[in-house]
Amino acid sequence: MTPRHDRPVALITGAGRRVGAVIARTLHAAGYDLALHYRHSAEDARALAFDLERQRTDSTLLLQAELADLPALPELIGQLLGQYGRLDALINNASAFFPTPPGTATAQQWDALFASNAQAPFFLSQAAIPALREARGSIVNLVDIYAERPLAGHPLYCMAKAALAAMTRSLALDLAPEIRVNGVAPGAVLWPADGKPYDDQHAMLARTPLRRAGAPEDVANTVLWLLRDAPFVTGQIIRVDGGRSLSV
């Protein structure tokens, strides 16, 4: 058996870039060693791991996988446990996002959006249950305020995130008391990689009570709070959106 690692260990999906990378840096700075999953962002993931290793040696493990490949998910957990012998936190961050206007959506788009946003988080969580139970650990799912307030032209994405929100609450009930399960629902903290028109961004922020966009660090700090500082919180989805979900 692999000896149990001294420091807490977190697995972050989609950790190579954007919000996932900021979550990784935040947890690493808080003392977590990390399993960094990526799909295609190998260069970004390696650069992140190199930087974190300079700060603390032997503190990262790179894991490449296509999350739609269900047999690969237990293997991710197996590789992690082979390295560290423990798992304290699972952060289901990886997500596909693209429009699917009604009348144009395809079965392939359904599969892609549900695979990353609902199917993989469930089956990866299921594979992690024994290790998380032993550690009395936590799962944090990156949901979206659009799970409750849909975004026009994106029905499949909104449906998939709504499924993830329901999964968060269901697993919190089923896995208690040993494992806590929560979610974070960001608002505007990073614009999509393919960009949004400036006018749309301006109008969105005008409807946000705090009248500004957030930052990936706002999401990452909430994830850390749920993992480390909220031992009596489970089954909750924390909105990190500047109050935008309050507006009509």
| Catalytic residue annotation | 157
DSSP string, 126-190: HHHHHHHHHHT-EEEEE--GGGTSPPTT-HHHHHHHHHHHHHHHHHHHHHTTT-EEEEEEE-SSS
CA dist 90 and 248 (Å) reads 33
State whether residue 91 is helix, strand or coil.
strand
User: Crossing angle, helix 107-114 and helix 155-175, to 10 degrees?
Assistant: 40
Distance CA(182)–CA(212), nearest Å, equals 25
Q: Phi then psi for 211, rounded to 5 degrees?
A: 55, 35
CB atoms within 10 A of CB 230: 16
C-beta of residue 153 within 8 angstroms of C-beta of residue 101: yes
Angle, alpha carbons 33-234-4 (nearest 5°): 30
